[in-house]
Amino acid sequence: MPAPRIAVGPAGTRDYVRNAVREGGGELVDPADAEGLVWTDVNDPEGLSEILSRYDAIRWVQLPWAGVEPYAEAGIFDHERLWTCGKGVYAEPVAEHALALTLAGLREMKRWARAESWGPEAGISLVRGRVTIFGGGAITRMLLRLLAPLECEVTVVRRHPEPMEGASEVISFGRRFESLKGADAVILALALTPETRGLITDVELEVMEPHAWLVNVARGEHVVTEDLLVALRDDVIGGAALDVTDPEPLPEGHPLWELPNCLITPHVANTEDMAQPLLSARISENVRRFGAGEPLIGRVDPELGY
């Protein structure tokens, strides 16, 4: 069986991506000779569109990150090609970071880290607590495993309310307000789509418990920033722990930085050092599968855009 002919782009892509193609049994070729393409620019749908319009023999495109909304919004996905992304690749480090943010928030670590004198007791234990997770993908599945030793009662809110191992209940978005009441932590781990943009507004924040923390490891645009800022200033909720923000990067001097009940990390739930071995393994496996005619991992639904 001939090796699958795979191109890598754009120019400047790291060598480990090409090495991963080779490890999967692929032959590195120019786009003009390719039947598959690994495209690594996070935000250049125009560049990808140009290549695909010139070389229509490309039947498969691998996008190495999980969030592909710039490509969905540009209307680049079609039914003529196979599309795959990094869906599920980074679940372990991102879920780990989500748990770290949740514990740090409930335990008020930001306040203690900035303190210069002994203070009054504060903090909430997550053991046997209640957690709501928005999203039913690989990050949530990993989070459910990490939360299991804490014996948490976990409600998952997802598009299709199918049972998930480790979840006490899985419900649809139509019932999302039920899941906010009583939760100690509300974690966002879902794809950004037109339906989920602005998911958390002042309405949802008012429904949450006064002690609850909002944790976002998905996309900043899931949350209406001005509404969150007001809620944090007025102690409507306990706090927010954000690895993603809107806008992003969060500008210096933005009021969220100074709030004692807002913990921010600069989109580091998955760093490049963490990503390289995980992404390399995914690319190699999909190249192997493509060459063997087997189903690919991380398929993108052109209709849903993720």
3-state secondary structure the chain: CCCCEEEEECCCCCHHHHHHHHHCCCEECCHHHCCEEEECCCCCHHHHHHHHHHCCCCCEEECCCCCCHHHHHCCCCCCCCEEECCCCCCHHHHHHHHHHHHHHHHCCHHHHHHCCCCCCCCCCCCCCCEEEEECCCHHHHHHHHHHHHHCCEEEEECCCCCCCCCCCEEECHHHHHHHHCCCCEEEECCCCCCCCCCCECHHHHHHCCCCCEEEECCCHHHECHHHHHHHHHCCCCCEEEECCCCCCCCCCCCHHHHCCCEEECCCCCCCHHHHHHHHHHHHHHHHHHHHHCCCCCCECCCCCCC
pLDDT digits (tens, 9 = 90+) for 229-273: 999 999 999 999 999 999 999 999 999 999 999 999 999 999 989
Whether 160 is a known active-site residue: answer: no
* 8 A C-beta contact, residue 140 and residue 90: no
> Average pLDDT for residues 42-57, to the nearest whole number?
94
- Please report, rounded to a whole number, the percentage of residues in the chain having pLDDT higher than 90: 95
9 beta partners: 39
Whether 219 is a known active-site residue: answer: yes
Q: At a CB cut-off of 8 Å and minimum separation 6, what does 97 contact?
A: 217, 243, 265, 268, 269, 270
**Cα→Cα distances 163→43, 171, 183, 292, Å:** 34, 9, 19, 32
Q: How far apart are the first and last CA of the chain?
A: 32
The answer, yes or no, to whether residue 302 has pLDDT greater than 90, is yes
* 8 A C-beta contact, residue 87 and residue 137: yes
pLDDT grade for 188, boundaries at 50, 70 and 90: very high
pLDDT grade for 43, boundaries at 50, 70 and 90: confident
The answer, yes or no, to whether residue 24 has pLDDT greater than 90, is yes
Nearest Cα neighbor of 200 from 232, 161, 168, 166 is 232
The answer, yes or no, to whether residue 138 has pLDDT greater than 90, is yes
Predicted local distance difference test score (pLDDT) of residue 288? 98
The answer, yes or no, to whether residue 136 has pLDDT greater than 90, is yes
Higher pLDDT, 30 or 43: 30
Q: How big is the chain by its Cα radius of gyration, in Å?
A: 21
Q: At a CB cut-off of 8 Å and minimum separation 6, what does 61 contact?
A: 36, 37, 38, 39, 48, 52, 81, 82, 83, 84
Each domain of the chain, given as residue ranges in start order, spans 5-89+271-292, 91-264
The answer, yes or no, to whether residue 42 has pLDDT greater than 90, is no
From 248, 254, 288, 289, active-site residue:
248
From 254, 267, 288, 289, active-site residue:
267
Asked if the domains 5-89+271-292 and 91-264 are classified in one and the same CATH topology, the answer is yes
Q: Does domain 5-89+271-292 have CATH number 3.40.50.720?
A: yes
Backbone angles phi, psi at 193, to 5 degrees: -135, 170
pLDDT digits (tens, 9 = 90+) for 140-187: 999 999 999 999 999 999 999 999 999 999 999 999 999 999 999 999
Predicted local distance difference test score (pLDDT) of residue 181? 97
CATH number of 91-264: 3.40.50.720
From 5, 130, 158, 219, active-site residue:
219
Q: Give the separation between CA 76 and CA 56, rounded to whole angstroms.
A: 14
Q: State the pTM of this model.
A: 0.92
Predicted local distance difference test score (pLDDT) of residue 155? 98
pLDDT digits (tens, 9 = 90+) for 106-127: 999 999 999 999 989 999 999 9
The answer, yes or no, to whether residue 282 has pLDDT greater than 90, is yes
- Please report, rounded to a whole number, the percentage of residues in the chain having pLDDT higher than 70: 100
